Amino acid sequence: MPAFEVLEPAIDPNNRITFLLDWELTMKCNLDCSYCTSGLYGGHDNSTRHPPRDECIQALEFMFEYVDHYMQRKSTGLKYVILNVYGGESLHHPDIIEILSQIRPKYKAYSDAWNLTVTTTTNAIVSDKKLKKIIPYIDEFTVSYHCESTDRQKQQFKNNLLTIKQAGKRQKCVVLMHQETDLFEDAKLMISWLEQNNIKFLPKQLDGHAGTSGERIYQQQQVKWFDNMYKEKTFGQYTNVLDVNTDAALTDAGRACCGGRQLCSDNNYKERQFYVENKFPNWYCSVNHFFLYVKQVTGEIFVNKDCKMNFEGNVAPIGNLNNTQKLLKTLENQLSTNSLPIIQCKKDNCWCGLCAPKAKHLDTYQSIMKKYQKNYTI
């Protein structure tokens, strides 16, 4: 269990607190990486169909209406929404350009109330012609580098990152640090290339517990590499979580925020952390105030893509795209009367959602939430 009892995102003007709409547009993918689980509830599933365009547009309308209820109760400095279009591989959807073209028109009704950033999480292995059609609709690209791709795909990846840069779009490359020696070195070479081309990047561990079928054991020198990187990311304020004297499954020690956000514990805003212990069973969490995950293929609506906690204390959806009006009406009533149930975590580990303010004790949670929601009452 963590040594701290409260975890919050650090105050950082370059990485502001937002509400993330995670839209899993399709499960199909043009890669098949060994560390990405397959199947309907894995990272990709090529046996599924691409969801129809009209259903996707209806889901987009729902997400904007849903997040608007939360935005109405946030202070001006927190009225920022990110729509993350991903998959599978979202750019692999045959109607992706038509779908992306509808985002700004659908957002127009809310443009005076809150700010929207459109991003896509993509492996960036797409034709140059298609990418150039997509770029105008995206504000920021989160691209992921996969060491297991072919040499030809890696070159296409580099070319596309340079195309995105030349178009003047913001981008960040998440480098998946494979534990196999040769592939780990390949990832480090990609980091060098990104540095040379002045492209932001975030090295990311592969999640997987020791002793399980998905274990990812990093060698001692690789653990030391991560440890040094985290120290650099926190300007030397990093509190050691990793044991650098042994091979390790990093998931068993802790995790960094997916978006590279620095964190603060126990209201100590002077010291920032980048890598923290990530076990919060029975903690009280505000993940619903900062996340929504829509799984387009099944129509399921979750609070978050990894924890999937609902308001009844179960790991389950909070609704479905075939009955969004019921969910919206319930949410509106709960927020207007300050009666929204509080999520108490039942998961062993926190992955996506790590940066959502959380506390071990209910009274502490209720106290810190006054900073994140207007008129929050206990």
pLDDT digits (tens, 9 = 90+) for 57-110: 999 999 999 999 999 999 999 999 999 999 999 999 999 999 999 999 999 999
Q: Are 218 and 181 in contact (CB under 8 A)?
A: no
**Which stretches does DSSP call E strand in the chain?**
6-9, 19-24, 80-86, 115-122, 140-145, 170-177, 200-205, 217-218, 248-249, 255-256, 263-265, 275-276, 284-285, 291-295, 300-302, 319-320, 343-344, 358-359
Average pLDDT over residues 172-193: 97
Question: Which CA distances in Å does 30 have to 14, 96, 373?
Answer: 33, 15, 41
> What pLDDT score was predicted for residue 253?
83
Percent pLDDT > 90 in the chain is 78
Residue 322 maps to a domain: yes
Domain assignment present for residue 201? The answer is yes
Residue 239: per-residue pLDDT? 60
What pLDDT does 374 receive?
82
What's the pLDDT at 236? 52
Tell me if 103 is assigned to some domain. yes
- Report if residue 306 sits inside a domain: yes
Tens digits of per-residue pLDDT, 120-156?
Answer: 999 999 999 999 999 999 999 999 999 999 999 999 9
Distance CA 37, CA 40 (A): 9
Residue 191 has pLDDT above 60, yes or no: yes
260 within some domain: no
What confidence category does residue 243 fall into, taking pLDDT thresholds of 50, 70 and 90?
Answer: confident
Look over the chain and give the mean of its residue pLDDT values, rounded to a whole number. Answer: 93
Q: What is the pLDDT of residue 231?
A: 79
Express each pLDDT in 163-179 by its tens digit. Answer: 999 999 999 999 999 99
Residue 297 has pLDDT above 90, yes or no: yes
Instruction: For residue 235, count other CB atoms closer than 10 A to its CB.
Output: 11
Residue 238 has pLDDT above 90, yes or no: no
Q: 324-336 vs 53-71: helix axis angle to the nearest 10?
A: 10
Show the domain range for 109: 16-217+287-342
* Total tally of structural domains belonging to the chain: 1
Q: What's the first-to-final CA gap in the chain, in angstroms?
A: 27
Residue 253 lies in a domain: no
Question: Left (φ > 0), alpha (ψ -120 to 50) or beta: where does 116 sit?
Answer: beta
Q: Which residues pair with 44 in a beta bridge?
A: 38
Kindly report the CATH number assigned to the domain that includes residue 323.
Answer: 3.20.20.70
pLDDT (tens digit per residue) in 195-218? 999 999 999 999 887 778 788 999
Report, as an integer, the average pLDDT of 345-364: 94
pLDDT digits (tens, 9 = 90+) for 46-60: 999 999 999 999 999
DSSP state of 38: B
pLDDT tens readout for residues 251-296: 888 888 888 888 999 998 888 888 888 999 999 999 999 999 999 9
| Cβ atoms 318, 327 nearer than 8 A | yes
Q: Quote the pLDDT of residue 252.
A: 82
- The model's confidence at residue 234, banded by pLDDT at 50, 70 and 90, is low
What are the tens digits of pLDDT across the range 244-253? Answer: 888 988 888 8
Token pair listed for 76: 């001006």
Residue 8 has pLDDT above 60, yes or no: yes
**pLDDT tier for residue 157 given thresholds of 50, 70 and 90:** very high
Sorting pLDDT into bands at 50, 70 and 90, what band is 235? low
* Cβ count near 239 (within 10 Å): 17
Residue 228 domain-assigned (yes or no): no
348 falls within a domain: no
Four-point Cα dihedral 115, 272, 256, 229, nearest 10: 120
